[in-house]
Amino acid sequence: MKKLVLATALFVFCLGTNSYADLGDMTLKPGMTHKDIAELQQKLDILGYFDYYEYTNYYGDKTEAAVRKFQEEYGLKVDGIAGKQTISYIKAKVKQIQLAKEKEEAEKQLAASIQQNLKSLGLYTGDITSVIDEATKEAIKAFQEKEGLDVTGEADDNTIARLNELFPKPVEEEKSTSLVSSRAFVDFTRKYLGKPYVYGASTGKAFDCSGFTTYVMKNYGIKLERTASQQFKKGTPVAKEDLKPGDLVFFSANGKTIGHVGIYIGDHKFIHASSSKKQVVISDLRTYGDKYQGARRYIELNYEEELEGEKKK
């Protein structure tokens, strides 16, 4: 049975999880009544600790028991009180589950896309199952052999990049050309911090490096080629000392082939979907040394607006 939410908490839930931004700012104890308790119960339920037919604003015996069980299993002080540390652990575990689900969904979408593309090439004859099974791997091998790629049967970066070149995704019509503030642009990119890295993904739920840049720029009406090397070939070249937020920065592991791309956000930092970190992260450009190969500008932002905002602070 789906859990119900009491009327006193219903409005808050309709606003989404952002309405609970203050969860963890105060200690929740047995006997208390507070709107955050309903969210605490919801998160404990996601983790399998809270078993009741509804979420309430009251911290009763069932909530205390659920908190105690969680604390015991994760080596925390077992007192049945949801303090800052306990809530922080609960949030982190829920986030892990959410990211795992998003990654699983992105991988299914990618698998379905691969199967559909290989079917279009006459290399795959099975059903679209959203699973890279043995039949799909054999079709991938046939594709890799045909395209002169390493024959592994795995949907690796080069294979996905080649499929994306053959089957580019349609791009929406360009949006208004009015300049967006660089601050708003950077804030938009930061929304995706922590999203999982998945080969070939550009869904908003998961990305590879060029999938992330493509997705972000598409939101501002900019059509990019799908691979990092293709994106490097176009755009306006920008000297390192002239970098501005929104510029794409490119890297190479061997000093020859462009293999990675990110988005510069200012102060020597760039945001990117990192294959090594397995998620979207912010890194310091200075730590990449001679791996840095250059930058390209695809979008003009309103940098003056940001400077004016800084002056008013």
The reply to whether 260 belongs to the active site is: yes
The reply to whether 14 belongs to the active site is: no
DSSP string across the chain: -PPEE-HHHHHHHHT-GGGGTTTTSS-B-TT-B-HHHHHHHHHHHHTT----SEE-SB--HHHHHHHHHHHHHTT---SS-B-HHHHHHHHHHHHHHHHHHHHHHHHHHHHHHHHHHHHHTTS--S---SS--HHHHHHHHHHHHHHT----SS--HHHHHHHHHHSPPP-PPP---SPPBHHHHHHHHHTTTTPBB-TT-BSSS-B-HHHHHHHHHHHTT----SSHHHHHHSSEEE-GGG--TT-EEEE-SSSSS--EEEEEEETTEEEEEETTTTEEEEEEGGGGGGGEEEEEE----BHHHHHHHHHH-
Query: 260 with 211: CB under 8 angstroms?
Result: no
Considering the candidates 14, 34, 268, 272, report the single residue annotated as catalytic.
Answer: 272
The reply to whether 209 belongs to the active site is: yes
| Residues annotated as catalytic (active site), given as ranges | 209, 260, 272
